[in-house]
Chains A and B, each alone.
Chain A
Amino acid sequence: GQQLNQSPQSMFIQEGEDVSMNCTSSSIFNTWLWYKQDPGEGPVLLIALYKAGELTSNGRLTAQFGITRKDSFLNISASIPSDVGIYFCAGLKSGGGSQGNLIFGKGTKLSVKP
């Protein structure tokens, strides 16, 4: 099936650092989503992007919908310990059937630098 290429796969953060991650695809999407998953829990929607070029913030999080509609990035500024977890990007296309299903990246695991 379709895949989103999400990078990096994992990263270590030190409190106060800024963090960047991104997702790319060979396909065009109408919506880009970013989720965060804490251990043992379901993913929680952080940011939804609906228009090419859109830049949206949610507190210390900022995400952008790429102009080509084939990519998106997520930035976390001034990271704190509770930012650790797995971040997933997801793309959506309009349409019925399987076209309307979320396509997920494989996740970026954020851990605290030892």
Chain B
Amino acid sequence: SQTIHQWPATLVQPVGSPLSLECTVEGTSNPNLYWYRQAAGRGLQLLFYSVGIGQISSEVPQNLSASRPQDRQFILSSKKLLLSDSGFYLCAWSWNRGTEAFFGQGTRLTVV
């Protein structure tokens, strides 16, 4: 069976510090991978998606970047965090484009 792991679960970072959130998927090959942000417990906003290693598409302009160094690894990064980067970040995977997505447990990021 497939599982998705996301860490850390919670993170408190000062403004201006770097960020690295990691997500890995097990039990499947060449998944489509996604990073979402959720503010105030509602509304999922798609930040990035990837259909393969090194292939990243950005949905919204922002202070964040994503990378996919391995087939089942997806990383969300920032060089300098802003207060507005606080939120709940969710990684997800799907078999193909246009199929249902399965989410990780999320990372609660608080920028102080």
Interface residues of A (CB under 8 A from B): 30-31, 33, 35, 39-45, 48, 86, 88, 92-102, 104, 106-107, 109
* B90 beta carbon closer than 8 Å to chain A: yes
- Beyond A30-B98, A95-B97, 14 additional contacts (C-beta under 8 Å) are A35-B103, A44-B103, A45-B101, A86-B41, A92-B98, A92-B99, A94-B97, A97-B57, A98-B59, A100-B32, A101-B46, A102-B44, A106-B42, A107-B43
Q: A41-B105, A41-B106, A42-B106 are in contact. Are A104 and B43 (CB under 8 A)?
A: yes
Chain B's nearest CB lies how many Å from the CB of A44? 7
Q: A98-B59, A104-B44, A107-B42 are in contact. Are A42 and B100 (CB under 8 A)?
A: no
10 A–B contact pairs at CB < 8 A?
A31-B99, A41-B105, A41-B106, A94-B98, A98-B57, A99-B98, A101-B49, A101-B59, A102-B101, A109-B42
Interface residues of B (CB under 8 A from A): 6, 32, 34, 41-44, 46, 49, 51, 57, 59, 90, 92, 96-106, 108
A106 proximity list for chain B (CB < 8 A): 42-43
A39 proximity list for chain B (CB < 8 A): 41
B97 proximity list for chain A (CB < 8 A): 94-97, 99-101
Contact B44 A100 (CB under 8 A): no
Contact A86 B42 (CB under 8 A): yes
B44 proximity list for chain A (CB < 8 A): 43, 88, 102, 104
| Cα of A101 to Cα of B34 in the assembled complex, Å | 9
| Residue of B57, B92, B103 contacting most chain A CB atoms (<10 Å) | B103
